[in-house]
A and B are shown apart, each in its own frame.
Chain A
Amino acid sequence: NAGVTQTPKFQVLKTGQSMTLQCAQDMNHEYMSWYRQDPGMGLRLIHYSVGAGITDQGEVPNGYNVSRSTTEDFPLRLLSAAPSQTSVYFCASRYRADNEQFFGPGTRLTVL
């Protein structure tokens, strides 16, 4: 199993640009989540999904969109990048609510 994969590892954007962060898992997990990690803030939930076709907002959803057309993939879209979105982004998955959580390697995003 590859586990949870994320691409790209690093990305630099200019303000106003859009992009998609990719996340995939091959463990047939139902739950998938996107977090951002900022110094002193801990992990904050952006969007999550409890199964294909089902997504919902987390704590900091503004400026981001998600979709879950398959069990495996959960892309995160930045609609119009802003410097406040400079962060490290982690995708994670787990089989059910009370199971171990697996994290992807992260994407370090800088918005100029």
Chain B
Amino acid sequence: GEDVEQSLFLSVREGDSSVINCTYTDSSSTYLYWYKQEPGAGLQLLTYIFSNMDMKQDQRLTVLLNKKDKHLSLRIADTQTGDSAIYFCAESPSNSGYALNFGKGTSLLVTP
């Protein structure tokens, strides 16, 4: 199938904002997800957005959705060193049952 695209790396300074971008493939995906993976750990659900929304804010996290361009972004305000991890974007394509289609992940490095 087609790939969910994410940039591989992002480096920011502590206190700055981070923006992680994702291009998904299936415009019929009802929900789009962001997961976080720390070294040696599983995937932690960070947030998700319903496809009829443009924006969702949850504390330091802001998700923006552009359905026309099939573009999803995750903004982390006041990024901390503890935010260093791999961030995965995922869609739920209509032709894949209940499977999630993940991007390859963006490695976020936060430097002091």
Binding between chains A and B: no
Interface residues of B (CB under 8 A from A): none
